[in-house]
C-alpha cells in the first residue's frame, strides 16, 4: 500500500472513531439530559479549514476566535466574516486570553500548544482534515456534534449533496462519450492526482484528471514537457501567476504554457476554493461543470 493510501486509510479510520466516540458520549448522558447539555459558548479554532466549517455552523457570538489565515482572502472563503473575530496564530498564551470552553485543532496544529492547553485543563478536540467528499461529510458532522450544532451540520451536508446531485442532473454528456481530459495546474508545476480533493472535484464536474494517469515528480510535480507532449482538452489554473512574483510562478508564465492555454479553454478556480475540504468545495464543482457543459455544446455544434 502506498504512503498516500495508508494515510487516507488512517484518516478515515480516525474520523470514524471520533464520530463514534462523540455519539457514544451523547448516548451515555442521562435520559432527557441531551437537550440540557450546554453548548460551548467560546469556541476557538486553530485551523483554517476548521474555521470555515465553524463559521458555517455556529452563531458568531459563540466563536471566541479563529486562525489568522481565515481573514486572508487569498486562502479563505470566509475572509469578511473572519475579520470581525479575534484571530490567533497558535500560541497557548493568546488562546488562553480568549478564555475558550472548546478549542478545535487540526491534525497538524502545533503539538506543543495542544499539549500545554490540555495540561492546563482546556478542552481541546482534534479534527482530522478531509481529503475526500465522504470525509467532508464526516468532518462536518463531527464539528456539529462537538459544538452542539448537529442539526445545522446535517442541513449543511444535505445542501452539499443536493448541489452535487443538481450538477449530475444537468449533465448533458452521453454515458458512452469519453470524459474530456483536464489538468489543474498550480505554481511550481504542482498537480493533484488520485486521492486528492482536486481530483474528486474534477471527476464530479465530468472531467478526467490528467494527473491521475501521469507519473508525477517530487511533491506531485507535473513537468511542463509532459504536459505539452500530451495536452489535455482543458487547463484549470488553481493559481494565478500574477499572485507569485518569485520563481514559484514561472511555470504559469512560461511561453510554452501560455501558448497551450491560448489553444484551448482555460479556467481559473482560485486556490481559496480548492484549499480546504469543506462543503463550500461544491462551488468549484459547479463552476467546472458549467465549463464542461459549454465544452460539450461546442463539440456538438454544427461546423
Question: Residue 221's closest CA among 265, 266, 186, 182?
Answer: 186
What are the cell numbers at 78?
A: 470566509
Q: Are residues 67 and 83 in contact, defined by beta-carbon separation less than 8 angstroms?
A: no
Distances (CA, A) of 258 to 155, 185, 221, 292: 43, 12, 18, 21
Q: Residue 150 contacts by C-beta under 8 Å, 6 or more apart in sequence? A: 141, 144
Q: Are residues 185 and 159 in contact, defined by beta-carbon separation less than 8 angstroms?
A: no
Q: Are residues 181 and 210 in contact, defined by beta-carbon separation less than 8 angstroms?
A: yes
In the DSSP assignment, the letter for residue 180 is P
What are the cell numbers at 32?
A: 432527557
The mean pLDDT value for 253-271 works out to 90
Task: Give pairs for 66-72: CB < 8 Å, separation 24+.
Answer: 70/45
Distances (CA, A) of 290 to 166, 178, 287: 12, 17, 5
pLDDT beyond 60 at 17: no
Q: Residue 29 has what pLDDT?
A: 32
The residue that leads in pLDDT, 5 or 263, is 263
In the DSSP assignment, the letter for residue 88 is E
* CATH fold group of domain 176-300: Rossmann fold (3.40.50)
What are the cell numbers at 222?
A: 507535473
Q: Residue 121 contacts by C-beta under 8 Å, 6 or more apart in sequence? A: none
Confidence of residue 277 (pLDDT cuts 50, 70, 90): very high
Half-sphere exposure of 48 (CA within 13 A, CB side): 17
SS3 category, 235: strand
The mean pLDDT value for 239-247 works out to 80
The mean pLDDT value for 282-301 works out to 78
Q: Residue 176 has what pLDDT?
A: 58
SS3 category, 139: helix
Same fold, 3-164 and 176-300: yes
Q: Are residues 73 and 61 in contact, defined by beta-carbon separation less than 8 angstroms?
A: no
Q: What CATH superfamily classification does 3-164 receive?
A: Nitrogenase molybdenum iron protein domain (3.40.50.1980)
Q: Residue 119 has what pLDDT?
A: 96
The mean pLDDT value for 8-18 works out to 53
The mean pLDDT value for 249-261 works out to 91
The mean pLDDT value for 199-212 works out to 93
What are the cell numbers at 147?
A: 459544538
Confidence of residue 64 (pLDDT cuts 50, 70, 90): very high
Question: Residue 237's closest CA among 217, 216, 214, 254?
Answer: 254
pLDDT beyond 80 at 5: no
Confidence of residue 300 (pLDDT cuts 50, 70, 90): low
pLDDT beyond 50 at 27: no
Strands 234-237 and 43-45: unpaired
Range with lowest mean pLDDT among 25-39, 84-98, 108-122, 265-279: 25-39
The mean pLDDT value for 248-262 works out to 90
Domain ranges in the chain?
A: 3-164, 176-300
Q: Are residues 145 and 153 in contact, defined by beta-carbon separation less than 8 angstroms?
A: yes
What's the pTM value of the predicted model, to 2 decimals? 0.82
- Among 14-23, 248-257, 277-286, the range of highest mean pLDDT: 277-286
Q: Residue 67 has what pLDDT?
A: 96
Q: Residue 218 has what pLDDT?
A: 84
The residue that leads in pLDDT, 30 or 196, is 196
Confidence of residue 295 (pLDDT cuts 50, 70, 90): confident
The residue that leads in pLDDT, 34 or 294, is 294
Amino acid at each position: 500500500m502506498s504512503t498516500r493510501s495508508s494515510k487516507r486509510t488512517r484518516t478515515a479510520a480516525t474520523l470514524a472513531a471520533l464520530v463514534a466516540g462523540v455519539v457514544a458520549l451523547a448516548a451515555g448522558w442521562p435520559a432527557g439530559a441531551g437537550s440540557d447539555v450546554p453548548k460551548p459558548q467560546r469556541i476557538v479554532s486553530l485551523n483554517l479549514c476548521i474555521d470555515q466549517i465553524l463559521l458555517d455552523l455556529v452563531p458568531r457570538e459563540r466563536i471566541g476566535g479563529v486562525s489568522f489565515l481565515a481573514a486572508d482572502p487569498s486562502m479563505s472563503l470566509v475572509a469578511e466574516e473572519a475579520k470581525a473575530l479575534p484571530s490567533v496564530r497558535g500560541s497557548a498564551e493568546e488562546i488562553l486570553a480568549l478564555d475558550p470552553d472548546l478549542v478545535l485543532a487540526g491534525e497538524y496544529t502545533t503539538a506543543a500548544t495542544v499539549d500545554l492547553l490540555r495540561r492546563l485543563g482546556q478542552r481541546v478536540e482534534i479534527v482530522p482534515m478531509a481529503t475526500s467528499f465522504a470525509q467532508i461529510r464526516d468532518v462536518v458532522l463531527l464539528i456539529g456534534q462537538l459544538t452542539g450544532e448537529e442539526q445545522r451540520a446535517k442541513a449543511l451536508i444535505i445542501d452539499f449533496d443536493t448541489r452535487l446531485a443538481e450538477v449530475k442532473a444537468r449533465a448533458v454528456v452521453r454515458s458512452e462519450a469519453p470524459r474530456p481530459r483536464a489538468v489543474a495546474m498550480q505554481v511550481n508545476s504542482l498537480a493533484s492526482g488520485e486521492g486528492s480533493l482536486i481530483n474528486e472535484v474534477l471527476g464530479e464536474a465530468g472531467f478526467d484528471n490528467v494527473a491521475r494517469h501521469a507519473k508525477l515528480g517530487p511533491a506531485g510535480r507535473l513537468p511542463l514537457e509532459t504536459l505539452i507532449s500530451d495536452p489535455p482538452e482543458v487547463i484549470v489554473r488553481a493559481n494565478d501567476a500574477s499572485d507569485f512574483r518569485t520563481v514559484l510562478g514561472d511555470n504559469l508564465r512560461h511561453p510554452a504554457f501560455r501558448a497551450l492555454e491560448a489553444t484551448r479553454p482555460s479556467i481559473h478556480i482560485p486556490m481559496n476554493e480548492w484549499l480546504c475540504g469543506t462543503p463550500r468545495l461544491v462551488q468549484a464543482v459547479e463552476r467546472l461543470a458549467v465549463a464542461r457543459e459549454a465544452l460539450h455544446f461546442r463539440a456538438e455544434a454544427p461546423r
